[in-house]
Amino acid sequence: MPGSATPTAPDSRYVRRFSPVERALHWLLAVTFLIMLATGLILYLPVFAQLAADRILWKSIHLAAAIAFWVGLVALLPRGHRELRATARQIDRFDGDDGRWLAWSVTRRGPEPPQGRFNAGQKLNTAVVAGLMVVFTVSGTLMYLQETDAGFRGTSAIIAHDWATWLAVPLVLGHLYLAAVNRSTRHSLRGIVLGTVRRDWAARHHPKWERDA
């Protein structure tokens, strides 16, 4: 339902890509995730051993970011639950063009299969990030509880937490490259900051969505 989730911008050269709630949700995730990544790596990597001497400080920032994410999410969801549900449906639906697009993104042979509001790579990215947030939260909470309650010891929570971090690092680096560096995709930054993107850019990258937007 691109029409209801993304009403046309007043200037017809631009098209509305993200609503204020969607942008707030993205920046809440981006800021808290990057803080957790940075503080987690300080706690983990031997190269930061000197910095990590004040373990309580970094751990407190790490946990504060995790709490801020969940509190922010619970505060934002009711404000835009209808449009966010429509967006979730757009991300959830995988069609034949998405399968062809994934094959094309590997081979780069022939014309790019047309994509909707999100391409298949973005749909996968969202699913993996959502899954990671669940893994991080469950394993992180167990790690926290293990410190005070012997009943929680013996789980592999820290292994799950570390593996999730190693999956998150290339995923986030790839995301940042596409969003801010790569010439043909970096115009998307305008959408996640200001809410609108150029119609010709939308038609090139997301033609099945641009037609209705």
Name the residues that contact ligand HEM, by CB under 6 A.
17, 26, 29-30, 33-34, 36-37, 40-41, 43-44, 55, 59, 62-63, 66, 118, 122, 125-126, 129, 133, 136-137, 140-141, 143-144, 158, 161-162, 165, 168, 172, 175-176, 179-180, 188-189, 191-192
Nearest-approach distance from CB 67 to ligand HEM, in angstroms: 8
Contacts for 208 with CB less than 8 Å, ≥ 6 apart? 97, 114, 115, 116
Nearest-approach distance from CB 91 to ligand HEM, in angstroms: 7
Q: Which amino acid is at 40?
A: G
- Pair type for strands 14-16 and 196-198: antiparallel
Say how many CA atoms lie within 13 Å of 157 toward its Cβ: 17
What does the alpha-carbon distance between residue 175 and residue 81 come to, in Å, rounded to a whole number? 25
What does the alpha-carbon distance between residue 31 and residue 37 come to, in Å, rounded to a whole number? 10
Nearer Cβ to ligand HEM (110/189): 189
- Which tokens is 148 given? 């005070």
Nearest-approach distance from CB 108 to ligand HEM, in angstroms: 19
Nearer Cβ to ligand HEM (100/179): 179
Strands (E), the chain: 14-16, 196-198
Count Cβ atoms within 10 A of the Cβ of residue 56 and give its class: 0-12 exposed, 13-18 middle, 19 or more buried.
exposed
Nearest-approach distance from CB 107 to ligand HEM, in angstroms: 21
Nearer Cβ to ligand HEM (5/66): 66
What three-state secondary structure class fits 16? strand
Nearest-approach distance from CB 117 to ligand HEM, in angstroms: 8
Nearest-approach distance from CB 206 to ligand HEM, in angstroms: 8
Nearer Cβ to ligand HEM (104/171): 171
Nearer Cβ to ligand HEM (103/193): 193
Nearer Cβ to ligand HEM (110/207): 207
Contacts for 188 with CB less than 8 Å, ≥ 6 apart? 17, 178, 179, 197, 205
